[in-house]
Amino acid sequence: MPAAAPVPGIDRREGRQAVILFVALLGFHGWAVSVGWTSFNLPGGEFRQAQTAVSAYWIQHDNNYALAYPTPVLGKPWSVPMEFPLYQWTVAKLSTVTGWPLTQTGRGVNLACFYLSFPALFLLLGRLGVPPARRWVMLGFLLTCPLYVIYGRAFLMETMALMFAVWFLLGYVRTVEQRHAGWLVFTMLCGIGAGLAKVTTFLFILMPAFAWTLVWLWRVRPGQPGGGPRAILRVAAWALAAVALPCVLAVWWIRYADAVKALNPVGAFLVSDNLTSFNLGLGQRWDPGIWAQHWAIWQAELMPALLLAAVGLLAALFLRRRGGLAGLLVFFFLAAQVLFPVLYAYHEYYYVANSFLLMLAVGVVLGEVLDSRLPRVVAWGLLLAIQAGQIRHCVQVHYTDMKSWSFGGTPLTEALKVVTGPEDILVIAGDDWNSMKPYYAQRRALMLPHGRESEPDFVARAFGQLRGETVGALVLRAPEEQNRRLIDAAVRTFGLDPRPVFGWQDVLVYLRADLRLAAIAGIKDARDSRFITLTPESLPDLGKLKGHEVETAALPAHLRRNFSRMTPLPWKYYTSFGADLVAESGGEFFTAHPDTRLWFKVPAGVRTIAVECLISPGAYAASLADGEASDGVEFSIFLQQAGGKIIPLVSRLLDPRRQAADRGRQILEYRGEIPAGADVLIQTGPGPNGNNSRDWAFLGAISIR
């Protein structure tokens, strides 16, 4: 059917309808990006989000806002800068000032930048002669595009670069056309932001800027009114002034980042000269496999094939007056993929920079449908049908992944947080330089790139860079768990125990020798520890840290924190069920289920001993039958003389089931002479019947002074 002649104008009612539709779609987008907002996982290009997030985490953790910002995943020196850290700095500082969690702050900054792009796009469309009512229609397609839902709230700088880029383009047009110094400064600042935040996005936006410049130069060519050499020089001068400083600073940053990366023997492969072929897709620009991957991304993240075909049919039937605009938008959308074919094919988040053009082109087509002589109900019905299809597709593609709540990471990263200290380093092989494990474990790491784990000289240099650091764990993903040469080198260099301690899926973990026993006993405290498997070599050691006296000095620093509310620290302890510091009744308490014993070395003299005691309310709840509730716990203070003789000092049986006064926090106190050479022994034991069922006892602050 031939396209109908366009309607001469757009009435106010239809303009209001376009605004109402845009607001409704904005509401959908706001809802969609909020799904799973409080979750700490990072759906969508998680490996790349984790790389950005790990930098923001350590910037905040170390208060390190240096240009050589930390990305501690490839060993020392800990910096391998990629993009200028404007986004990471913003997220880290905002999280610190507001107290918001880092993940949610990263999402919020990203989403704000996405929405701040819309005014610039609205004004640019106006400069192209699109009436306001049709601009709202065009911009509405950005809000239902699956890509701008999943990556509109990602922990990435992509939308920050997009925001700067579109405002730069608007400023560039105004600068050259109006020749105003204010617009020139604005344009330079936005160009600097775009070039530093993501140089590939800036290079892409320079393409339409260059095309616009050619149009201006054509209009002032010799023989045209007001044209000639002076007019050409004037256009060229303002255009050059707008782009020169951003380009210079973008080049400066690339060279600076390369110099920093070159200092790291592991990270040197990321120097830009080594990535030129990959970044520009040399020899692969027209590879059918590459374009098949592009097509897969278009269908999944931009618009499904059926809807694309429908829009194509509508374009053939109705696209007339703005056909040139639609063609240009599609041309520049494709030009970005031609310029960076491999980057776009295998990193879908790159499409944030250019997909708005395809969505605007779809909007142009539907705007032409609305401008046709089709009955209004039919024209608007076609528009709403396309948008409904986009919304349905968006929900199908991303809702399941986004709605699942997670603490972030895996049972493995939770276990690594439990068994290693905050300052311990992880050595990881078999994961290339995927930052997910270091980020979720909140540990610095040396990750050995694929293919280099079996190069002795490379491994020796990488290990040598960690001289003076404390390595807590060697994490090997299949097939590297069979790399005996690498394991032996790590054992020798870092004092690791040669026996693997635990595994998860296809990962095997070795620990520093002094961490081994505590880790075997403490691994149960990791979230989802049921998915962690102790190795056969660990099973014989399973019980050595409970039902056994342990010297506190032998524990790593992060496990000694369990005794942080005790002054002084006990020099040794015995527990039947393991030593933990847990949240209970509004405070932190040491688990002291009978039998628990703590020995303290105290200088001779008159001393005051105060022990905070508590039995968990769950141990004596009214809903429990008499035989199920605790029958009380005895809290005692003894002297243990040098010869081993034990002398009772004070004792109290707490029986909160039967004595209301024994409920809540209690203080056991003693003041008296402590002879030289004697230890103070604080102990919990079962009630008078010797039954320790539900004897959920806790020790709070212990003071001996």
Q: Decide which of 379, 402, 425 is a domain's last residue.
A: 402
pLDDT-based confidence at 544, cuts 50/70/90? low
Kindly report, residue by residue over 522-539, the tens digit of the pLDDT.
787 677 888 999 999 888
**Domain span including residue 265:** 12-402
* pLDDT for residue 4 is more than 50: no
590-640: pLDDT as tens digits: 999 999 999 999 999 999 999 999 999 989 988 888 778 899 999 999 999
Overall number of domains in the chain: 3
- What's the confidence (pLDDT) of residue 545? 56
- Find the length of the chain: 705
Mean pLDDT of 492-496: 94
- The residues, ordered by sequence, that sit 6+ positions from 186 with a Cβ below 8 Å of its Cβ are 167, 171, 175
Identify the band that residue 3 occupies on the pLDDT scale cut at 50, 70 and 90.
very low
Q: Find where tokens 């999402």 sit.
A: 107
DSSP classification of residue 685:
E
Interatomic CA distance for residues 302 and 304, integer angstroms: 7
Average pLDDT on 420-441 reads 94
Instruction: Give residue 6's pLDDT.
Output: 41
The answer as to whether 4 is a domain residue is no
Q: Are residues 464 and 568 in the same domain?
A: no
* 1 part of a folded domain: no
Q: Is 428 part of any domain?
A: yes
| Global pTM value | 0.81
Residue in 599, 591, 554, 561 with CA at minimum distance from that of residue 575: 591
As a whole number of angstroms, the distance between CA 650 and CA 677 comes to 20
Question: Is 2 a member of any domain?
Answer: no
**Which of 53-57, 246-250, 544-548 has the least mean pLDDT?**
544-548
The pLDDT value recorded for residue 482 is: 92
- Regarding whether 570 and 515 lie in a shared domain, the answer is no
Which alpha helices (H) appear in 128-180, and where do they start and end?
A: 132-143, 146-150, 158-178
Dump pLDDT digits (tens) for 143-183: 999 999 999 999 999 999 999 999 999 999 999 999 999 99
What's the CA gap between 350 and 281, in Å, rounded? 14
Confidence of residue 92 (pLDDT cuts 50, 70, 90): very high
7 in any annotated domain: no
List, in sequence order, every residue forming a beta bridge with 32; answer none if it has no partner.
Answer: none
Domain shared by 535 and 556, yes or no: no
Residue at a domain's end among 477, 508, 541: 541
User: Which strands, in side-by-side order, build the sheet including 572-575?
Assistant: 550-551, 572-575, 596-601, 679-686, 633-640, 646-654
Asked which of 355, 377, 402 is the last residue of a domain, the reply is 402
Contact 7, 371 (CB under 8 A): yes
Distance CA(510)–CA(502), nearest Å, equals 7
In this predicted model, which residue has the larger pLDDT, 305 or 403? 305
Average pLDDT, the chain: 92
Does 519 share its domain with 665? no
pLDDT tens per residue, range 582-604:
888 888 899 999 999 999 999 99
Share of the chain above pLDDT 90, in %: 79
Q: Is residue 25 helix, strand or coil?
A: helix
Per the CB < 8 A criterion, the answer to whether 435 and 51 are in contact is yes
The reply to whether 6 falls in a domain is no
Burial of 491 (0-12, 13-18, 19+ CB in 10 A): middle
